[in-house]
Amino acid sequence: MIGRSSAAGYPLAAFLKPVKDAMNRPHLLLIAASLALASATSSVLAAAALPASNPFAKPSALPFQYPAFDKIKDEHYLPAFEAGMREQLREIDAIASNPKPATFENTIVAMERSGRLLGRVSATFSSLQAANTDDQLDAIDREMSPRLAAHNDAIFLNAKLYQRVKTLVEHAATLKLDPESAYLLERYNKDFVRAGAKLSGADKEKLKAYNGQIASLQTAFTQNVLKEANASALVVDTRAELAGMSEAEIDAAGATAKARGLDGKYLVALANTSGQPPLAVLTNRAVRERLMAASLARGSHGGQFDNREVVLKLARLRAERAALLGYPNFAAYSLEDQTAKDTGSVNKLLSDLAKPAVNNARKEAADIQKVIDAEKGGFPVASWDWDYYTDKVRKERYNFDESQLKPYFELNSVLQNGVFFAANKLYGITFKERKDLPVYNPDVRVFDVFDNNGKQLAIFIADMYARSNKQGGAWMNEYVSQSGLLGTHSVVANHLNIPKPPAGEPTLLTVDEVKTAFHEFGHALHGMFSNVKYPRFAGTSVPRDFVEYPSQVNEMWMIVPEVLANYAKHYKTGAPIPKELLDKVIAAKKFNQGYMTTEYLAAALLDQRWHQLAPDQIPTDVVAFETTALKDAGVDFAPVPPRYRTTYFKHAFEGGYSAGYYAYLWSEKLDADTVEWFKENGGLLRKNGEHFRQTLLSRGGTADAMELFKNFRGRAPRIEPLLERRGLMPQ
């Protein structure tokens, strides 16, 4: 949810910032969660607009402006949104109408300081609407999405305001700005132009209409996905049908069914991806088939939550909006502001990998078929068989299966003895849990984070368990972002969706869940280490195809022997994970990479195919278009469906990673090259962490992203480490 996405004030460019791993967040979060959302002082205007009883009327008095979750009620949001928008428009009007000549301070810095009230409410609302929603929050989301889009237009299409920015750009050479300030001016100018500031009056009105409709449709798409996932959860009648799942998991399925009024039955919730975790263990093939069918049909089989018409309208409106702004398609518009720059670069990356990835997947399918045939299964491998038999192939080849690993991956140990331990070794930071701050759910945990000099650096929120009112997947967001201008520090949250075990049972993680915990904390570090002046550049405010890079790098520490030995201990005995088992896990790292690369590429290619359409190329049949697109790209291999099909592909259609799902692979190229650097320089050493922190993590978006990489690495990235990692090097 990267990364794709939050901080003191509501700086204008925030609407155009990339999200911070917004894999699974609703539209409003995608607009607001990258805002600079903290404020050192409350404004007189805000106090006048909102009663003091509204928690958003002034900054939270809690440490680091941590949200007062215990005081915030659903009814507080809408008045705060409305007051915040009014306040910011007054601030913007004052800037645009200032009779004094434009200066960097009275125009650009003034915009950076604007919108603090709107920032406060947006950060909290968008975060909770993703993590802990209800019907009232969903209704507010639907109402506010187009209104916030209109608010954005009122600012970026303000001709007087843009003229002041343009004047400063024309005289930039005489302003004698420091590098961060100069880059801020450059970015604001680009943001205004990309938002339509140069359009005619009539075209600006067209653009406003497009933006409002797109915002509403993105919200509808996202809410349909969550509701469909709940409505389509697999229900079975007997425990026997769930054979292969642990007793605790079956008990949890029974409890979930009972909570929904299905006494005596068992309910298996759907994850956000096409593949579903229980497919790896369910022994009943018919149940596996039902589970996969329910997953793949989401949003495309009629009914209240069907997303096909939403997709077609969104694709058309985005294409028409891009054409109005002078671009051949939406992807061209979107990629211009990323490190990839253009559709040709992305298409080449994806197409170059498609054939070797599918070839590897076919070889893996042949290995699976041998196991099926040896067991006299009498059927060809299908998508609902892959995970189940892959684990058998893995066990046969490496003599271990996932069930052997889970007892060594207990959640608290993974978090504190793994994720936190690695960060301490690399960066010298320490953590202390505190229970005095309010939380929005009893399972949420809060930690103070202290820098290597002993001074508090940030507050970290850990929300690890799945809930029916929580978006799927995993993501990072910030309630408050660091800013030297505003004197704020980071309040950052990680969200996972780990199934909560019955009371008294340990929370044991899969390898993928451990990897996700390290990944999301990489985003958290990017936010916490931010050391910038302007909110516009705080933390993960970097291009979408760069934002996943630091988080992917952080995954490397999960299997470093020193870290693994500290957290991978049997939850009952405390015995360390056996070396021979660890050796097998490491040896198996390239195992099943054909499948994993193919399912990812299929989704990334779908995202590009939809968003590289011109307005007159929009199809009428979503499913037919998807089928043809996958076939034309050479990734139509039935046992490996796309990681996301179109109708539940939130990255592509809720707004955050539209035309940008390729970003994970693009970032992985940088990640793989960076992992090689750490290995070449001794690995988990403080001097290495300090170099990475100072040259890249702390810099946020203060310079061109690829220049930051080169400053760290000393050269441009190479693709060979990525190909080697994924087993795609020519044989």
Average pLDDT of adjacent 10-residue blocks, the chain of 731 residues: 33 34 31 34 47 96 98 97 97 98 98 97 96 95 95 96 98 96 98 97 96 95 93 96 95 94 96 94 98 97 95 98 98 96 95 94 97 97 97 88 90 98 98 98 98 98 95 93 97 96 93 95 98 97 95 96 94 93 81 94 98 98 98 97 97 91 94 96 98 98 96 94 82 60
Give the pLDDT of residue 18. 29
CA torsion sign, 62 to 65 to 67 to 68? positive
Q: Residue 268 forms beta bridges with which residues?
A: 234
How many CA atoms does the CB half-sphere of 412 hold within 13 Å?
Answer: 9
Q: Residue 250 forms beta bridges with which residues?
A: none
Written as six digits, the tokens of 388 are 């189940």
Spatial distance between the Cα atoms of 409 and 399, rounded to a whole number of angstroms: 19
Calculate ∠ Cα 232-234-239, nearest 5°: 165
Spatial distance between the Cα atoms of 637 and 358, rounded to a whole number of angstroms: 8
Strands 430-434 and 445-450: antiparallel
The structural domains of the chain, ordered by start, are 12-225 (1.10.1370.40), 232-296 (no CATH), 308-400+591-661 (1.10.1370.10)
* Residues belonging to the chain: 731
Give the pLDDT of residue 586. 80
Nearest partner of 434 among 448, 416, 424, judged by Cα: 448
pLDDT digits (tens, 9 = 90+) for 248-280: 999 999 999 999 999 999 999 999 899 999 999
Residue written as token pair 């195809």? 545
Calculate ∠ Cα 538-607-383, nearest 5°: 115
Give the E-state strand segments of 451-530 in sequence order: 456-465, 475-480, 490-498
- Residues 364, 410, 513, 520: which is the catalytic one? 520
3-class SS string, 513-548: HHHHHHHHHHHHHHHHCCCCCCHHHCCCCCCHHHHH
Spatial distance between the Cα atoms of 420 and 263, rounded to a whole number of angstroms: 41
CA 546, distance to chain mean position in Å, is: 12
Nearest partner of 128 among 501, 467, 413, 404, judged by Cα: 467
CA torsion sign, 102 to 108 to 109 to 110? positive
Nearest partner of 436 among 422, 419, 448, judged by Cα: 448
Spatial distance between the Cα atoms of 242 and 221, rounded to a whole number of angstroms: 31
Give the pLDDT of residue 175. 96
Instruction: Say if residues 155 and 192 touch (Cβ distance below 8 Å).
Output: no
Instruction: Say if residues 538 and 483 touch (Cβ distance below 8 Å).
Output: yes
Residue written as token pair 């793949």? 296
Written as six digits, the tokens of 194 are 């990309």
Residue written as token pair 């936010």? 527
Instruction: Say if residues 682 and 688 touch (Cβ distance below 8 Å).
Output: yes
Spatial distance between the Cα atoms of 476 and 474, rounded to a whole number of angstroms: 7
Written as six digits, the tokens of 459 are 């507050």
The number of beta carbons lying within 10 Å of the beta carbon of residue 224 is: 22
Which residues touch 407 (CB under 8 Å, ≥6 apart)? 508, 570, 571, 572
Q: Which residues of 368-387 are buried (b: 16+ CB within 10 A; e: fewer)?
A: bbebbeeeeeeeebebbbbb
Which residues touch 73 (CB under 8 Å, ≥6 apart)? none
- Alpha-carbon torsion angle 242, 245, 251, 256, nearest 10: -70
Calculate ∠ Cα 500-501-507, nearest 5°: 85
Instruction: Say if residues 18 and 34 touch (Cβ distance below 8 Å).
Output: yes
Give the pLDDT of residue 731. 60
Global pTM value: 0.86
- Alpha-carbon torsion angle 97, 101, 104, 107, nearest 10: 0
3-class SS string, 571-600: CCCCCECCHHHHHHHHHCCCCCHHHHHHHH
520 is catalytic: yes
Q: Residue type for 656, please?
A: G
Supply the angle between the helices 593-611 and 622-633 in degrees, to the nearest 10. 120
With residues binned 3-state (H G I as helix, E B as strand, rest as coil), the percentages for the chain, rounded to 5, are: 55, 5, 35
**N-to-C CA span, the chain:** 35
Instruction: Say if residues 300 and 645 touch (Cβ distance below 8 Å).
Output: yes
Which residues touch 557 (CB under 8 Å, ≥6 apart)? 418, 422, 426, 518, 563, 684
Q: Which residues of 172-204 are buried (b: 16+ CB within 10 A; e: fewer)?
A: eeeeebeebbebbbebbbebbbbbbbbbeeeeb
DSSP type of residue 22: B
DSSP type of residue 494: E
